Chain A
Amino acid sequence: EAGVAQSPRYKIIEKRQSVAFWCNPISGHATLYWYQQILGQGPKLLIQFQNNGVVDDSQLPKDRFSAERLKGVDSTLKIQPAKLEDSAVYLCASSRMGASNEKLFFGSGTQLSVL
């Protein structure tokens, strides 16, 4: 079974530029998550999708971050414009149904450096 796929693996941009990350969850998984992991910290949830609807985006900085999952499969996370403090690893995860106590499967992440 293929895992959660993310691209690119690495991205270096200058502040005020835009960047987009892509995630393809495990086939058949209804729930998709985007997490931000700053160096030395645990992952922080940015947004949770159930199929193509948003379940929780309370911690997403909506003035610069946006995410979509139009067909309920792949998802894109965008930052526009980027700030220095956005440097982090962006992790995508998926779970089968999003039910309580269900395991989350994580991708390898996209490491973003904002200069």
Chain B
Amino acid sequence: SQELEQSPQSLIVQEGKNLTINCTSSKTLYGLYWYKQKYGEGLIFLMMLQKGGEEKSHEKITAKLDEKKQQSSLHITASQPSHAGIYLCGADGTGANNLFFGTGTRLTVIP
């Protein structure tokens, strides 16, 4: 079965530092989604990447999808306490738009 592996599992950074979270699939993906989840809440959509080599940015967050569409990275520049939470990558493996998710990366930002 298809799986998404995220690394690292958890990350603690000082406010103002940059960080990168990775998401790797064993198979080519139809689409790759990044969501953020705060404790006790639902998932908030961040970005979706479709094409190999695609890169998108929103405020201080940039996501990239590699040419083979099997690996994605999420980069946060000058992290803030508001960036803290669990970052989940999700993918559509079949084209039916029902996503499966990685196990998440828990980000803590120390003021």
| A residues in contact (CB < 8 Å) with B | 4, 31, 33, 40-45, 48, 55-56, 91, 93, 95, 98-109, 111
**A-contact bits for B7-40, CB 8 A (1 contact / 0 none):** 0000000000000000000000011010100001
Instruction: Assess whether B96 is in contact with A106, with CB atoms less than 8 Å apart.
Output: no
| B residues in contact (CB < 8 Å) with A | 4, 30-31, 33, 35, 40-45, 48, 50, 88, 90, 92, 95-104
Contact of A109 among B4, B41, B104 (CB under 8 A): B41
- Inter-chain CA distance A42–B89, complex, in Å, is 9
* Nearest neighbor of B4 in chain A, beta-carbon distance: A42
Instruction: Assess whether B42 is in contact with A107, with CB atoms less than 8 Å apart.
Output: yes
- Inter-chain CA distance A4–B44, complex, in Å, is 12
* Nearest neighbor of B88 in chain A, beta-carbon distance: A42
Given the complex, which residues of A lie within 8 Å of B4, measured CB to CB? 42
Cross-chain pair count, CB within 8 angstroms: 70
Instruction: Assess whether A91 is in contact with B98, with CB atoms less than 8 Å apart.
Output: no
* Nearest neighbor of B102 in chain A, beta-carbon distance: A42
* Nearest neighbor of A91 in chain B, beta-carbon distance: B42
Would you mind naming 26 contact pairs between A and B with Cβ atoms under 8 Å apart?
A31-B97, A41-B103, A42-B103, A42-B104, A43-B88, A44-B101, A45-B98, A48-B96, A55-B98, A91-B42, A95-B97, A98-B96, A100-B30, A100-B92, A100-B95, A100-B96, A100-B97, A101-B30, A101-B31, A103-B33, A103-B45, A103-B48, A106-B35, A107-B42, A108-B40, A109-B42
- Whether A91 touches B43, Cβ cut-off 8 Å, given contacts A42-B102, A98-B97, A101-B48, is yes
Given the complex, which residues of A lie within 8 Å of B30, measured CB to CB? 100-101
Interface centre among A43, A44, A91 (most CB of B within 10 A): A43
- Inter-chain CA distance A106–B99, complex, in Å, is 12
